[in-house]
Every structure is written in structure tokens, then in C-alpha cells.
Amino acid sequence: MSRIVEVRPFMVNFEQGTGGADAARYGGRGNMMIVRIRTDDGLEGFGEGTLPHKTRAVAGAVEDFAEYLVGQDDTLIERHWQVLYRNSFQRGGVILMTAQSAIDQALWDIAGKRFGVPVWRLMGGAVRDRILLYTHPGGASRDELVDRTHQRIEEGYRAFKTGIPGTAEWISDRKKVQETYENIAAVRDAVGDDMKVMVDAHGKQTPTVAIEIANALEPLDLLFFEEPVPPRNVDAMLLVSAATNVPLATGERMYNRWDFRTTIESQAVAVLQPDLGHAGGISETRRIAAAAETYFMGIAPHNPRGPGVTLASLHIAACTPNFIIQESSIPIGGDALWDEMLVEPLVVEDGYVGLPQAPGIGIRFDESIAERYPFQGRDTGHPVLADGSVGDW
């Protein structure tokens, strides 16, 4: 029986390894946190728990969890999940669940390496031959948005998501509705009828404004309209769902199956978006997806992060029947940090990426990376509205 001998978090400044204007799209969002778990028989597992602006808090939670994990049998993944979630009177929340997610990924990584197979093979095998991706064109203007969409097509993508500019007013915002429609219509014109288009509202709207926007966008044939209202208010989401035919999606700010339960049971959305880096890792995302399947909901895992969450998400996509599409921040054309952390390159072709084939999850990490890309404190700035009040991202 093998035992865990080390659980160590590493903080890495991602933006140093992802240069240029596309840094945000490729996961260059400040600091990344990687967990390394070592066993007494020489195996190493890695998991990513990146949480912008809260890197040190997540690393501290990993160190707290390490007090239990060191000395334990590394193969007891589910037992360790239960202990980490339940051994404190205070459960869940984004800090603890992000730390737990990274640890869970690392334990599955060790399991795959121990048997010499990719993680999806340990979960019953693949249900598909390739994985559909979408990405973010970005752009500060409509013309730039369209131009970048064409660039993404050249890179191999066939599905695209963009957002609503700025923060909408609370009651009615016809100007914002029109601006959003014109932006998305320009993307639809650029990609044609056969490619997929999504819109992320970032939960910035009240139901009344969200309904206005959704109904305006309905003729553009969206795959889904993401976070039209803030998360966890199921009644608000149901108001939007009842007033539009556009499929709705939510879930990136829900952190375990209990957070998702009422949204699933109410059938408030068509698509759930658990994040492998926040929602309890591979183990818990698998359970969330299974619960969603019983209500005929699809999953499209959230992922604006680095190589660890990206690869972990692909393993879930490979073996999950109700998977729809995977958010992608894979750098096209090479990136120093990604190239160093990927065991095998990820190639986007005709909108898809192949199934991961490396044993475990498929990432590697040398602690010198943390030395070469050291943690840097981040500006805690936030959106500000015209009257000086706090806005939403």
C-alpha cells in the first residue's frame, strides 16, 4: 500500500508565461495555483486550483488539508473527498472547494499514472471519440470582435462565446440590448449558420433586463445564454426561462452538488457549467453531471484557467454522456508555460480536440516553474458604475 508523503501548493504568475493581447483568453489571469502530491513509491500527481485574487487563501487551505492527507493511502480518493469536505463544521465555499478540487485532481492523476492509463479510462472509458471546444474571440470593438472571430476560425475553432459590454441598468436598458444584439449579430454573420455561438451575461442583469436581452438574441440561434442573472436565485432564473426560448446555462459559481441541487430539480436551465477547479474536482463534477443527466440537462464545464483544469475537464468530457461542449483557453501557436506543463500537445482541429492519452491527467510541473514565474500580488480593483457604486464583472 502506498502512502502520501507530501502535499504542496505552488503559486505561479500566469501572465508572465502568457504574453500579448490574448493573455486573458488563454488563462493569463494573474496567479495560478498548482498542487503536487507525492507518494512513498515515487509517484507524483498534479492538480490546478486557480482562483483569481485569492491564490494565497487557496494555498493556505491546501496546507491545512495536508495535515490530514500526509500518511494516508493515496488510492482512497472518495474517502479523502468525504473527509476534506466534512471534517470541518464549516463546509464548502469557493476557497475550500478550490483547494479540494486541486487535491482531487492530483489524486486521480496519481491513480492514472499507477495503472498507466488516462483518467477517463478509470471511469468506464470514453463515450465519444473527440471533444467539441469553444473559445472567446475577445475584442474592444465590434470590428475587432469580428476580426478576432475570423482568427479563431483559422486556429481551428468552430464555436465562440462573447459577452455583454459593460453593466446593464437594473430595470430596463434598451441601449444595452441593442448594442449586445448588434455585436452578436456581427459574430453570427462572420461565422455563418453552421457554427455555434454563445453569450455570457456574467450574472450582471436583473430578470427584466435579462429577458429583454434573451428575446432580442433569440433569432441568432444561440447554443446557450450563460448566467443571465446572478447564481443561486432559482426563482429569478425561472422567470427568465419562462419568458424566452433561448437555452439558459449557469453553474460556474456553484461549488458542489448541493449548490447545484435546486437548479437541477427546478429544471431552470438547459445547461450546467461546473468548473473542475472549483466544484470539487473530477469526483464531484462526475456526480453533478450524472444528476443533471436524470433531468435531461447537458453540461458544458466552465474553464478560463490553465493546463490543469483544462486537461481535467477533457477527461470528464471524454466519459460523460450528457457533455455538450468544453470552454477552451488552449493557446494556439505555442506558449512557454503551457508547453512546459503539457505532457502531450493539444491540437484543435475542425472545432475538436482529441481524447487525452497520457497516463493520469496529462500535466507535469517542475517546482522551478514557480521560481521562474513567481507569485505577484494582484490589483483588487473592481467595476465602478457611473454614480460611483460597485458594478459586476
Residues 31/52, Cβ–Cβ less than 8 Å: yes
Task: Indicate if 202 belongs to the active site.
Answer: yes
Of 80, 136, 278, 302, which one is the catalytic site residue?
A: 302
User: How many residues appear in the chain?
Assistant: 393
Task: Indicate if 315 belongs to the active site.
Answer: no
Residues 205/165, Cβ–Cβ less than 8 Å: no
Of 202, 278, 315, 382, which one is the catalytic site residue?
A: 202
Q: Return the residue matching grid coordinates 494565497.
A: 56
Q: Helices (H), strands (E): how many in the chain?
A: 13, 12
Residues 6+ positions from 171 with CB-CB distance below 8 Å: 206, 208, 209
DSSP code for 27: T
Torsion sign, CA atoms 142, 147, 150, 154: negative
Q: Which three cell numbers stand for residue 167?
A: 453593466
Q: Left if phi > 0, otherwise alpha if psi is -120 to 50, otherwise beta: which for 240?
A: alpha
Please compute, for residue 270, the number of CA atoms within 13 A of its CA located in the half-sphere on the CB side.
16
Q: Return the residue matching grid coordinates 499507477.
A: 114
Residues 6+ positions from 135 with CB-CB distance below 8 Å: 25, 152, 155, 157, 159, 160, 161, 327, 328, 329, 330
What spatial distance separates the first Cα and last Cα of the chain, rounded to whole Å? 47
Residues 104/47, Cβ–Cβ less than 8 Å: yes
Detail the DSSP E strand segments found in 58-184: 130-134, 159-163
Catalytic residues: 202, 302
